[in-house]
Amino acid sequence: MRLYYAEWPNKTISIVHAEYDLQAFYILDEEGDPSQAKVWSADNLAAIISYRDRRGLKLMRENEDDWTSVDFEKLPIVSYVFTE
**Residue pLDDT, tens place only, 32-72:** 999 999 999 998 877 788 889 898 887 777 776 778 899 98
User: Does residue 7 register a pLDDT over 90?
Assistant: yes
Where along the chain do its domains lie? Answer: 2-83
Give, to the nearest 10 degrees, the angle between helix 21-29 and helix 76-83: 40
pLDDT attached to residue 72: 85
Taking the C-alpha atoms of residue 24 and residue 1, their distance in angstroms, rounded to an integer, is: 10
Least Cα distance to 38 among 67, 69, 16, 63 occurs for 69
- This prediction's pTM: 0.78
Query: Using 50, 70 and 90 to split pLDDT, how confident is the model at 15?
Result: very high
Taking the C-alpha atoms of residue 1 and residue 43, their distance in angstroms, rounded to an integer, is: 7
Task: Phi first, then psi: give them for residue 13, nearest 5 degrees.
Answer: -130, 160
- Is 5 strand, coil or helix? strand
